[in-house]
Chain A
Amino acid sequence: MKTAMTLSQKILAAHAGLDSVSAGQLITAKLDMVLGNDITTPVAVKEFEKAGCDSVFDKSKISIVLDHFTPNKDIKSAQQCKCCRTFAKKFDLDNFFDVGEMGIEHALLPEKGLVGAGDLIIGADSHTCTYGALGAFSTGVGSTDMAYALSTGRTWFKVPPAIKVVLKNRPAENVSGKDVILHLIGITGVDGALYKSLEFVGDGVKYMTMDDRFTICNMAIEAGAKNGIFECDDVALEYLNGRYKGEIRRYAADKDAEYERVIEIDLAALSPVVACPHLPSNVKPASKLSGVDIDQVVIGSCTNGRISDMRAAAQVLKDRKVKRGVRTIIIPATNEVYLQCVKEGLMEIFINAGAVVSTPTCGPCLGGHMGILAENERCVATTNRNFVGRMGHTSSEIYLASPYVAACSAVLGHIGVL
Chain B
Amino acid sequence: MKFEGKAHKFGDNVDTDVIIPARYLNTSDGKELALHCMEDIDPKFAAEVKAGDIIVGGENFGCGSSREHAPLAIKSCGVSCVVAASFARIFYRNSINIGLPIFECRQAASDAKSGDVLRADPTSGIIENLTRGKKYSTAPFPKEIRDIIESGGLMKSVKK
Interface of A toward B, CB cutoff 8 Å: 26, 39-40, 42-43, 46-48, 50-53, 68-69, 73-74, 76-77, 80, 123-126, 128, 140-145, 147-148, 151-152, 156, 190-191, 194-195, 224, 226, 279, 366-368, 385, 387-390, 394
Measured between C-beta atoms, what is the minimum distance from A377 to chain B in Å?
Answer: 15
Minimum CB–CB distance from B145 to chain A (whole Å) comes to 8
CB atoms of B63 and A389 under 8 A apart = no
Measured CB to CB, the closest approach of chain A to B110, in angstroms, equals 15
> Residue A142 contacts which of B22, B66, B156 (CB distance < 8 angstroms)?
B66
Determine if A152 and B158 form an interchain contact, defined as CB atoms under 8 angstroms apart.
Answer: yes
A26 and B142: CB pair below 8 A? yes
From B46-54, B74-82, B88-96, the one touching the partner chain is B88-96
Q: How far is the CB of B33 from chain A (nearest CB, A)?
A: 11
* Contact, CB under 8 Å: B17 / A366: yes
| Smallest Cβ-Cβ distance to A73: which chain B residue | B26
B138 at the binding interface (Cβ < 8 Å): no
Knowing A148-B155, A224-B89, the reply to whether A140 touches B66 (Cβ < 8 A) is: yes
Report the Cα distance A367→B23, complex, angstroms: 6
Q: Is B60 located at the chain interface by the 8 A CB criterion?
A: yes
- Chain A residues with CB under 8 Å of B13's CB are 190-191, 279
Q: Closest B-chain residue to A24, C-beta based?
A: B142
> Quick one: closest A residue to B21, CB to CB?
A389
Q: Which residues of B pack against A, CB within 8 Å?
A: 13, 15, 17-18, 21-23, 25-28, 40-41, 59-60, 63-69, 72, 86, 88-90, 93-94, 97-98, 142, 144-145, 153-156, 158-159
CB atoms of B158 and A151 under 8 A apart: yes
Residues on the B chain within 8 Å of A368, using CB? 22-23, 25
Verify B67–A39 contact, CB threshold 8 A: yes
Task: State the Cβ distance, B47 to closest chain A Cβ, in Å.
Answer: 17
Majority DSSP secondary structure for residues of A touching B: loop
A366 lies within 8 A of B65 (CB): yes
Q: Which residues of A contact B22 (CB under 8 A)?
A: 39, 366-368, 390
Contacts of A152 in B (CB 8 A): 158
Name the distance in Å between B21's Cβ and chain A's nearest Cβ. 6
CB of B28 within 8 A of CB of A142, answer: no
CB B43 to nearest CB in A, in angstroms, measures 9
Interface pair B21/A51, CB less than 8 Å apart:
no
**Residues of B close to A40: CB separation below 8 A:** 66-68
Closest to B88 in A: A224
A144 / chain B contacts, CB cutoff of 8 Å: 68, 94, 97-98, 153-155
Q: A142-B66, A191-B86 are in contact. Are A43 and B28 (CB under 8 A)?
A: yes
- Closest A-chain residue to B145, C-beta based? A26
Residues of B within 8 Å of A224, CB to CB, are 60, 63, 88-89
Residues of B within 8 A of A226 (CB): 89
Question: A385 near B64 (CB under 8 angstroms)?
Answer: yes
Option from B69, B90, B98 in Cβ contact (under 8 Å) with A126: B90
- In the assembled complex, which residues on chain A have CB atoms less than 8 Å from the CB atom of B98? 142, 144
Residue of B nearest to A46 (CB): B28
User: Which residues of chain A are within 8 angstroms of B59 by Cβ–Cβ distance?
Assistant: 191
Whether the Cβ atoms of B86 and A80 lie closer than 8 Å is no
The residue on B at minimum CB distance from A76 is B26
Docked pose: A388 CA to B18 CA in angstroms: 7
Determine the distance from Cα of A144 to Cα of B155 in the docked complex, in whole angstroms: 7
Decide: A389 near B159, CB < 8 A? Known: A43-B28, A74-B26, A140-B66. no
- Quick check: A51 and B158 within 8 Å, CB to CB? yes
- Cross-chain contact B26 with A387 (CB below 8 angstroms): no
The answer on a CB contact under 8 Å between B142 and A148 is no
Which one of A77, A145, A390 lies within 8 Å of B97 (CB-CB)? A145
Which B residue sits closest to A48, measured CB to CB? B155
Quick one: closest B residue to A192, CB to CB?
A: B60
5 nearest A-B residue pairs (beta carbon): A76-B26, A142-B94, A191-B60, A144-B97, A389-B40
Q: Are B142 and A50 in contact (CB under 8 A)?
A: no
A26 to B89, CA, bound (A): 14
Q: Are A140 and B28 in contact (CB under 8 A)?
A: no
Given contacts A39-B25, A69-B25, A142-B68, 18 further A-B contacts (CB under 8 A): A42-B28, A51-B155, A53-B158, A74-B26, A76-B26, A80-B27, A125-B66, A142-B94, A144-B97, A147-B155, A147-B158, A148-B155, A148-B158, A152-B158, A190-B60, A367-B23, A387-B15, A390-B22
Q: Which residue of A lies closest to B148 (CB)?
A: A156
Contacts of A145 in B (CB 8 A): 93-94, 97, 154
* From A52, A80, A141, contact of B159 by CB (8 A): A52
Q: Once the chains bind, are A367 and B21 in contact (CB under 8 Å)?
A: yes
Q: Are A126 and B64 in contact (CB under 8 A)?
A: yes
B63 — which chain A residues lie within 8 A by C-beta? 190-191, 224
16 contacts between A and B (CB under 8 A): A39-B22, A42-B28, A43-B68, A53-B159, A69-B26, A80-B26, A126-B66, A128-B66, A142-B66, A143-B94, A144-B153, A148-B155, A224-B60, A387-B64, A388-B15, A388-B17
